[in-house]
Structure 1
């Protein structure tokens, strides 16, 4: 595993800047002089209070609409501000101990990208993939023009863009649509970037396929763990913890090669509070996220139970990418309780950094009850999840354990050493085995 040392301790708070500051969608686009990127600075203390140690940003570079149709990779989107605003955000983040991850879109560009405009007007077409006489597009989106990843100039350009912003203070890159880019492209780009920035971290957006082969052949440090994301919410909704157990077995295999980026929400999917049919089970999903191996990420708003459904239509992402005005604005008691749960479980995670590479082993699995031990060396935690209407009794001796200390749980007294447990209906418990 090639993670820089700091990644073991990072927990990302992910922000989609254009939506977060109300720059997109907007009837009238903000002007650079509004310096909207600085609004994120107003939330950094909130992120620290939550327990985050990193700020994962969505696209911040000049684009026409949603940020993934880039016009200029060297310019901060004028709807957000300018270079000075970026520098201010980096400085304020680092002063609070927050790492900063940028979102790099190098599979495709927008139709206003200068080299594309020149190509359309009869100039050099070599920067772009083609299908016959037509320019290739990303997944059929006419506004997203696919780059030619075998072109040496495109490789050089990507190396230079990534290095430029790392030199300006970024700590790493999320590489958008990495699954659509040939691994050989990244294998030529990343070693050159690492040469100048050896402590940078690179995570590829990969939705499905052979994660291990992707990491091996591309040189990524990590990829997005969509398999586990899907198993978490669907196993809870379907009362089928066998699915989650299967996914965690796969997850162990990934951890033998790399540490995945784990999440239960991001800017591209329906929010977890809307995805789960029972709101009481959001904590169950969070428990899995924070007690299994991986580099966890919390999508801004999920920590206060924001709701939002992604739809497959134009503008279908808008509901999961809202504007944020002030902390806890419009958040009810459930939201405040969810924030406290995040604080508690994130605190538990950060007190046990060994969880970064921990493996899980099932101790008991039924459709509605799941007990697993997560372990790294001599360190271990036991997690019990119950989505049934009845209590879930678990005699620790029957699970091959002795006594255990309850360190967290719903309806369970903390710091109590017990020989067995009863997980309440729709509840959960985390124990430290003795």
Structure 2
């Protein structure tokens, strides 16, 4: 097993968490990493094994308009601050994954500025798509250029240019040598040059053992990216959508169908309930009692589970028009105290860490109705059964245990259960209740 096979991830949008300025006009760093380092002991207690943090590098606004890939954003700190953060995280047994924003740069990036200054004489004119000196850009530049999704503040890089590919690979090499990071999250990997992603896999393999490549993929067949030549994992947006929709519509068939569709690679996928781009799960659910059940699915279905910062407190937040700020709030550590949900999430993370079936075990559906669902993660000698009731009424049903049950215990309550002679177990669930049941030969 690689470290990421068993890891629980924690996703931080740092510019939001520390309450950074919306626009970066700083000429000296603010040194907010002391606040971020203070999170590490808490994250260890929560059961976190890896932090995906980003964007981190110098940018003009939201962090994805990069102006310097090799300098930490002044609104967060400086390079030494980040180096110390990674070192302290490693001392806590926590890996660090950083955002790699490679489809585009900001207009302040050195190559783009050179084109602005030298025009057709710039050696970087081929670094960007669609450079055309026969017209003017939306900002009045003496040339037109290709934009990321029609946003003129995000000039699109040209991956047909070898110098671009080489520069980005060397940037990753710098991040590994300077900061000792453990992996990358590739922004918008579903439209990032696929051959470049394969180059990343080839070059990062020898840079550091078990270096993790995670791609942000919203649409497409995930196996196109998750394979031995490209990436280790991608974001499972399909499952994300089916979880909140399945609970809201009292339709476990939707979640089960989606899981089965990607079952061949489900254990490799990065699973989440919320992130910095989508509304908070606590704001999406029609019935608040389903929040605990959603976290149970997150930690027990195949995949690499990820908590988005503040989610373990039940924070709410919705996009306001095109503004993502409500999804990326500042958090006052002194005022944000753990609650019952926080303790429950920590318990689920502990159960995930102690039971390898939930990390690499096979998946088997045991019982499925619109409002009740039971499934197992199992190996040759043991299993963990998840049973869920998405109804306001109590329910009960039989399941056939996937292994011979000599010892059967509820992992949440500690109650010992007795299977019947034909290796069947009756599971009773109260309204809106979930149970995790360990079975050993």
TM-score (structure 2 length as normaliser) = 0.89
User: How far does the alpha carbon of each residue in 1:368-405 deviate from its partner, in whole angstroms, 9 at most, with x for none?
Assistant: 11111122343311111111121110224599986773
**Displacement, 1:250?**
2.1
Whole-Å separation in 2 of the counterparts to 1:99 and 1:330: 24
The residue correspondences of 1:5-404 to structure 2 (distance < 5 A) are 5-25=2-22, 32-121=28-117, 122=119, 123=122, 124-130=124-130, 134-167=144-177, 168-216=179-227, 219-255=230-266, 259-313=268-322, 316-326=323-333, 329-330=335-336, 336-396=339-399
User: How far does the alpha carbon of each residue in 1:175-234 deviate from its partner, in whole angstroms, 9 at most, with x for none?
Assistant: 111111121121123312222223311111111101102224861111111111111111
**Displacement, 1:172?**
0.7
The equivalent of 1:422 in structure 2 is 428
Identify unmatched segments of 5+ residues in structure 2.
135-143, 420-425
* More off after superposition, 205-214 vs 246-255: 246-255
Residue 48 and residue 382 in structure 1: after superposition, are their counterparts in 2 closer, same or farther (change >3 A)?
Answer: same
Residue 298 and residue 43 in structure 1: after superposition, are their counterparts in 2 closer, same or farther (change >3 A)?
Answer: same
Partner of 1:164, secondary structure, is helix
Identify unmatched segments of 5+ residues in structure 1.
none
Whole-Å separation in 1 of the counterparts to 2:34 and 2:396: 50
Partner of 2:169, secondary structure, is helix
**Displacement, 1:33?**
4.5
- 8 Å CA contact 1:396–1:403 kept in 2: the answer is no
Residue 280 and residue 408 in structure 1: after superposition, are their counterparts in 2 closer, same or farther (change >3 A)?
Answer: farther
**Displacement, 1:356?**
2.2
Whole-Å separation in 2 of the counterparts to 1:75 and 1:212: 34
* More off after superposition, 414-423 vs 340-349: 414-423
Partner of 1:373, secondary structure, is strand
Residue 310 and residue 401 in structure 1: after superposition, are their counterparts in 2 closer, same or farther (change >3 A)?
Answer: farther
- 8 Å CA contact 1:371–1:385 kept in 2: the answer is yes
Residue 161 and residue 341 in structure 1: after superposition, are their counterparts in 2 closer, same or farther (change >3 A)?
Answer: same
Whole-Å separation in 1 of the counterparts to 2:309 and 2:166: 34
- 8 Å CA contact 2:357–2:377 kept in 1: the answer is no
- 8 Å CA contact 2:383–2:402 kept in 1: the answer is no
- RMSD over equivalenced CA pairs, Å: 2.2
**Displacement, 1:166?**
1.2
Larger Rg: 2
Residue 71 and residue 57 in structure 1: after superposition, are their counterparts in 2 closer, same or farther (change >3 A)?
Answer: same
**Displacement, 1:362?**
1.7
User: How far does the alpha carbon of each residue in 1:294-338 deviate from its partner, in whole angstroms, 9 at most, with x for none?
Assistant: 11111110011011112441xx210010111215x255xxx6010
- 8 Å CA contact 2:299–2:352 kept in 1: the answer is yes
Residue 31 and residue 238 in structure 1: after superposition, are their counterparts in 2 closer, same or farther (change >3 A)?
Answer: farther
TM-score (structure 1 length as normaliser) = 0.91
Whole-Å separation in 2 of the counterparts to 1:208 and 1:381: 31
Residue 25 and residue 405 in structure 1: after superposition, are their counterparts in 2 closer, same or farther (change >3 A)?
Answer: farther
- 8 Å CA contact 2:358–2:384 kept in 1: the answer is no
Whole-Å separation in 2 of the counterparts to 1:383 and 1:188: 40
